[in-house]
Structure 1
Amino acid sequence: MAAPLPVPPSRLGPRPLPLHLLSCWNFYLSSLPASLLWSNGWPILKGLLPPAPPPLVPFPNPLGGLTPGAGASEALDPLAFVQAVEQAGRRRLSAFLIGVQRYQGHDYRRDLPDPPVIARWGDVRLLDYGAPGAAEGPVLLCVPSLINRAYILDLTHERSFLRWLAGQGVRPLLLDWGAPVGEAADFTLTDYIEGPLFDALALASARSGGAVGLLGYCMGGLLALAAAQRHPTLVSHLLLLATPWDFHSDAAQARRLAAGLPSLLQVIDRQNGLPIDVIQTLFAALDPLQIARKFEAFSRLAPDSAAARAFVALEDWLNDGVPLAAPVARECLSGWYRDNAPPLGRWRIAGRAVRAEAVTVPTLALIPEGDRIVPPASARALVEAVPGAAMHMVPLGHIGMMVGGRAPAQVWEPIRAFLMGK
């Protein structure tokens, strides 16, 4: 009799799990008193509510079906309406919990082997995705964000931007930041840009015999922009993917962050960095029920389906973040988000202002129209500031632009064409 297969360890996500559980529970509980307000014929509320307004046309209900307009609820049995809302809320909460349970116990594990490491600087690695034996094509150094693992650009066999590029005659290099451990725990943005990023750029240029392409994704785009301004002879093409610039383009978002900044700075001081779960909480605040919707949908997928495995692969990456070094966290939160330093010319690297108008290399910015993390207006401000920069709007989201089903045609191919001069 064959030995039983080992049970894979449970995952901790979606992180921070207590926050997402509480959000879903609160949504469920709040639906009950809300249903009483909709059903203004409910006996307890008679005489406590103002007269109902004229009937409105029914509209789609997020719980399913149609919700009657105000006034139309009088035609319903109040008790039946409240019970229906309660049951729908309970079904959604149950679906979310089932989705989380199935995710945590799923048998998917990422099994892509790392390509050769051609240089190291502490925990930072430079990975070479060039296809062995292939003709030497344009070199592209890819710079991811500091707060997420670099393998979003090499997620799975089916969704690997870097391996696809290698098959198209490009030699991709990936700067894998790792985690801020050891001396990197005290790194500033200057340390990252004038340290490992400059060293990787210089090494890539030396090996290729000339300037190379430089690609930055999200926060990595800001780092790449600064490097391209400071070292233009090393850069042939600059690609900026979902890269923010005007951090006050969404005024409401800026106000919310400013209100919470004192508490965040206290966390940074106490933890000597910005912890992963705090970063994830900030992202979750952009759409508190997004996680609930995602895991409800996942609960309806067949566990062994390609869609389910793709979901788990992406969620594993999302929950595998890294903390920000304390100096970097302060620079980003205070300098970028509170003070809006980049477009005002006040963001400095090694004492020199980072100015988009000083970038002289050919530049292409790819901006996802459905981006909730980087508002498109923030990214467009950078295109307007870089002389001669081209802009390519894509009908995708912040992460979908790299790993979604339409990413190869909408994003990967335009990048290849830009590098090849087509």
Structure 2
Amino acid sequence: MAQHPEPPKADRPEPRLGPRPLPLHLATANLMLLSSLAVWPIAKDGLSYWNPHLQPRLGSLLPSLASVDPNEFTAALISAGLARIGAMTGGMQRYRRHGRRRDLPDPPVFWREGSSRVLAYGEAGMPVLLVPSLVNRAYVLDLAEGQSLARWLPGQGMRPFLLDWGDPGEAEQRFDLATYIARIRRALQQIKRETGQVPILLGYCMGGNLALAAALTAPDDVAALALLATPWDFHAGGTHQAALVQALAPALVPAAAEDGQAPPMLEVDTLQGFFWALDPFTALKKFTQFAAMPEGSEAERRFVAMEDWLNDGVPLAGPVARECLLGWYGENQPVARRWLIDGQPVLPQNWRKPTLVVLPERDKLVPKEGAAALLAQIPQASRLDAPSGHIGMVVGPRAESGLWQPLAAWLNTAVPQAEKHLPANKKRAVRVRATKVQA
């Protein structure tokens, strides 16, 4: 067989860090095997401490377990477990060595402030400011060719602007939620000045909470509001998540700053550990499936693109981490009307402009019941059920039909034509300013 020399090291992409945190995912897979070995003798004898929903399945297995040879069954169990772990690690190695890297060029930068920037997509149409979460990169809304809501919307009469938070700099490390929300308001004002139109505000996940608060504190700068998988009742539909955060928060949340220093941040691997805890066997399942995907397939391309984004996290400013983990998840402050911005509670019922609340059908991160709590509170709220999960809703194979198209239809009708533009004399002034900025 001919030997093919490896390409020079400089031409090879660096191995990926993910899936993060890698040691935790590997330990979980090994725990699956060890726990199976430990529990089956107990199950064989009919003794059970299983969850009630597993009891019927155990009952159907008992007749078969009673007649098996213990040594043979143990050997078979070890073989099956090792095969599953081998498939998972094979998928992980394939992913870590994959040659695909995101290569979409950035669009023009419309506005900057601190470590944040607003990227401009399109040159005409109704302006829409897209606000992502603070804990993941903004490019989930511009992930890859064919997986970019931001690049698709201009063909539907929209002019998207994507708020890319960036990594927290020296200033942002001291930010709380109110400071980030004030940055959204300034971005909205800049878009309004330079386009001559009052923009629509779209928030995704945690970005929806920030967008709602920005809209309530600057209603004249927001024409309508779209909230995608935005949590509100943090104790609804996912009580295990709230209990988990309450148990882990004392160890996870960074301490307050001392002696004028910047507060410690919540690091990426710690955040990823929280997401792991929501479904510890996710990596085992998805990398086993990835190992079996045909090379060069569309499924492989999508998996790598999404996984790269998932592992490209952003540290969270310490004050924000305390507000979110302790205030939102721990105390459920939004529902209790105790989430305060500039001393005032964030009250969805005070937002009286058109609003779209998007609920993914299979969302493990934001339970549907917790996001649906906004529907009853916002007077002009419409509902859209997206047939996917939290991330698949935006970038999955069914994203265009399940979310993008109905979202665009709503965006095009949310704001009456007569209200889309500022007065003509103001638009003329805006065009002059915009020309000076570009010059």
* Cα shift at 1:32: 1.6
Q: Would the aligned equivalents of 1:145 and 1:217 in 2 still touch at CA under 8 Å?
A: yes
User: Which amino acid is the alignment partner of residue 220 of structure 1?
Assistant: G
Residue from 200, 221, 224 that aligns with 1:234: 221
Q: For residue 145 of structure 2, what is the aligned residue in structure 1?
A: 157
User: Which amino acid is the alignment partner of residue 281 of structure 2?
Assistant: L
* Cα shift at 1:81: 2.5
User: Which amino acid is the alignment partner of residue 251 of structure 2?
Assistant: S
1:100 aligned onto 2:88: no
* Cα shift at 1:302: 2.7
- List aligned pairs for 1:91-170, cutoff 5 A: 91-130=83-122, 136-170=124-158
* Cα shift at 1:122: 1.3
Structure 2 counterpart SS, 1:324: coil
Residue from 261, 285, 290 that aligns with 2:277: 285
* Cα shift at 1:328: 0.6
Q: For residue 307 of structure 1, what is the aligned residue in structure 2?
A: 299
Q: Would the aligned equivalents of 1:35 and 1:81 in 2 still touch at CA under 8 Å?
A: no
Q: 2: CA distance between counterparts of 1:361 and 1:161?
A: 23
Over 3 Å counting, the alpha-carbon distance change for 1:266 and 1:124 in structure 2 is: closer
Cα offsets for 1:186-243 (capped at 9, x unmatched): 011111111x211110111122223111000000000000011111111111000000
Q: For residue 385 of structure 1, what is the aligned residue in structure 2?
A: 377
Identity within the alignment, %: 46
Structure 1 gap ranges (5+): 41-48, 52-56, 62-66
Cα offsets for 1:160-196 (capped at 9, x unmatched): 11111112221100000001111111011111111x2
Residue from 194, 198, 202 that aligns with 2:185: 198
* Cα shift at 1:384: 1.2
Q: 2: CA distance between counterparts of 1:267 and 1:7?
A: 40
Q: Would the aligned equivalents of 1:216 and 1:241 in 2 still touch at CA under 8 Å?
A: yes
Q: 2: CA distance between counterparts of 1:58 and 1:265?
A: 37
User: Which amino acid is the alignment partner of residue 196 of structure 2?
Assistant: G
1:216 aligned onto 2:203: yes
- TM-score for the superposition, normalised by structure 2: 0.86
User: Which amino acid is the alignment partner of residue 262 of structure 1?
Assistant: P
* Cα shift at 1:77: 3.4
Q: Would the aligned equivalents of 1:274 and 1:324 in 2 still touch at CA under 8 Å?
A: yes
Structure 2 gap ranges (5+): 49-53, 415-439
Q: Would the aligned equivalents of 1:39 and 1:81 in 2 still touch at CA under 8 Å?
A: no
User: Which amino acid is the alignment partner of residue 103 of structure 1?
Assistant: Y
Cα offsets for 1:14-62 (capped at 9, x unmatched): 000011111111112222222333444xxxxxxxx769xxxxx99889x
* Cα shift at 1:382: 1.1
Q: For residue 176 of structure 1, what is the aligned residue in structure 2?
A: 164
Query: Which stretch has the larger CA shift, 104-113 or 332-341?
Result: 332-341
- List aligned pairs for 1:235-384, cutoff 5 A: 235-249=222-236, 250-266=238-254, 272-384=264-376
Q: For residue 36 of structure 1, what is the aligned residue in structure 2?
A: 41
Q: 2: CA distance between counterparts of 1:374 and 1:327?
A: 22
Q: 1: CA distance between counterparts of 2:399 and 2:89?
A: 30
- TM-score for the superposition, normalised by structure 1: 0.89
* Cα shift at 1:2: 11
Structure 2 counterpart SS, 1:384: coil
Q: Would the aligned equivalents of 1:268 and 1:329 in 2 still touch at CA under 8 Å?
A: no
Q: 2: CA distance between counterparts of 1:389 and 1:144?
A: 20
1:27 aligned onto 2:32: yes
* Cα shift at 1:301: 1.6
Q: 1: CA distance between counterparts of 2:256 and 2:136?
A: 18
Q: 1: CA distance between counterparts of 2:255 and 2:32?
A: 28
Over 3 Å counting, the alpha-carbon distance change for 1:102 and 1:387 in structure 2 is: same
Q: For residue 426 of structure 2, what is the aligned residue in structure 1?
A: none
Q: 2: CA distance between counterparts of 1:164 and 1:387?
A: 29
Q: 2: CA distance between counterparts of 1:150 and 1:300?
A: 30
Q: 2: CA distance between counterparts of 1:267 and 1:75?
A: 57
The root-mean-square deviation of aligned C-alpha atoms, in Å, is 2.3
Cα offsets for 1:272-318 (capped at 9, x unmatched): 01110010000110100011111111111233222112111111100
1:17 aligned onto 2:28: no
Q: Would the aligned equivalents of 2:118 and 2:164 in 1 still touch at CA under 8 Å?
A: yes
* TM superposition outliers: structure 1 runs of 4+ over 4 Å: 57-61, 266-271
Over 3 Å counting, the alpha-carbon distance change for 1:31 and 1:229 in structure 2 is: same
Structure 2 counterpart SS, 1:396: strand
Aligned residues: 399
Q: 2: CA distance between counterparts of 1:111 and 1:214?
A: 27
Structure 2 counterpart SS, 1:119: strand
Q: For residue 80 of structure 1, what is the aligned residue in structure 2?
A: 72
Query: Which stretch has the larger CA shift, 4-13 or 319-328?
Result: 4-13
